Chains A and B, each alone.
Chain A
């Protein structure tokens, strides 16, 4: 682990820059084992997953029925795709799914980019102080350097995505409420994915986002096997194309066996959880409780072309809204005595999980 640490800490940019074998769109980068990553739209999640979502993988997000955190993940995922001009297909059980596009966040406008880039890199590489991160302000601003979009943007959740991002690529919005079965949508996906086949040299990367697959207002929601069959077909379609599919579902709405089957189907499996409001116990226990909106757990990281499991140093992260704008993920810091003084260096040092986890993937 120690040996490849220096490399992994900086691989996010240098690695992709060094490899210029394939014609590469800005939204993609090379990962281990011949895989390509596209960004989840959340810089911290990319780091946790070792680079992002692998092309050809199926990502499942297990919802918390009490909190809409899965929407945050979906929004960032979709926005990032639009920023990279990647085609997108979005499906939900809402009547007018296109309305959801209006809620997508806009990339953060950097202030003094160029001067900070180097410093930012270094700071990220060392990953010294999770605790202090908030004091650095917008150090993550690598969104639109040189007028070109970067691999992963920071999104400002308060600003809607600018109009010009919506033009130029294919955006399909599908309502699952009306259709009695998933066959038509499956055809949609299939024709969508045929635009991004694996074997052509032109790799662009497409995104499929399906919100609340098993939501009860859909007619097919009681047909477990039909949904499984859909997910399985989608998985095999995605695997043979250059796209990533993100599906969220609420495990509480389906049987355990069905939920387990879906979890097995997922290449990458993530769950989100709400945290209790104004819980004094938790506030004492967790540093930064005030800014937390929820918890995110990573259960499975895609293992494409490899058999080695990615063992993360931490699997549960707190979701925070930094300055009420951008979504960040942090290792859960259990406060040793109180809050964030003195001791925080040690505790954050042991918790620099996200930067190290890349190493686990990258033997």
Chain B
């Protein structure tokens, strides 16, 4: 399935259509999003390198990891760094995102220092200005496509850093501008879910066509930290995770896929999830009219209901609805339904009269023969 996503990103969008966009979400309990990001980056790189993809190159917006890191990554995947500049460009928002360094260099307190990377790197000195960021991304993309009609892929690592510096709306407009740009073939980014308010994450989910969420295999239970069970859970969550994908398909359907992945030294490995759970289907399907199963609360409530015959003779007035009360003192009882309370804090019997014309049968107590 991870492969399927890779292929989708590789194939890009159709002419006049928004480019496919993937958001990779993770949380601190299973903070493996960056590994998954690297996986997609290197997969796409090899597609592009072999010219098997729609796009001619990748523009990587590096915000949370250094260009040097990506250089190492490419090297470890066996790419030639010297020729890489024809298909791989980095917009470096990592080294000097706020222009502090250049300010210091100007005042003479430090020397100018390169980012130390041998890759083709353009330094962005103000990430707060997303318009400029957009134009530099597009410019780098044009360089990749050689000024022609060629397309390119944009990777942003990570949007969380952008969101910290700017507002949700400006990040959303950056993403939407990229998606709708006819030279952008595909787009993917990393987002740390728990770092933002739901408004931000929802906006980015809305902007994307595919959502990959990294979840811990087992949700941890609250307990003391020293607990050995919790420790091994923490340990597991740093090694493997559940890869959940929701894809908005062109035909209007949503495709959901689950996989498991392991982090290894060479990269990450996806395996089909050992136990497929069907709980996902349930949340989509509308609830049936009648409920065969009771929830915990419903079961408790049912247990609390005092049946009418249970309190007869314990001093209280017998309150069996005989159908007449509502007729005698029915001031407000004009509705077709009538509700009778047995005991407000112990549960209640709700009686819905089918219709107004259902009159009480007779004066006779229907349970007359019931003697307790």
Chain A–chain B contact at Cβ < 8 A: no
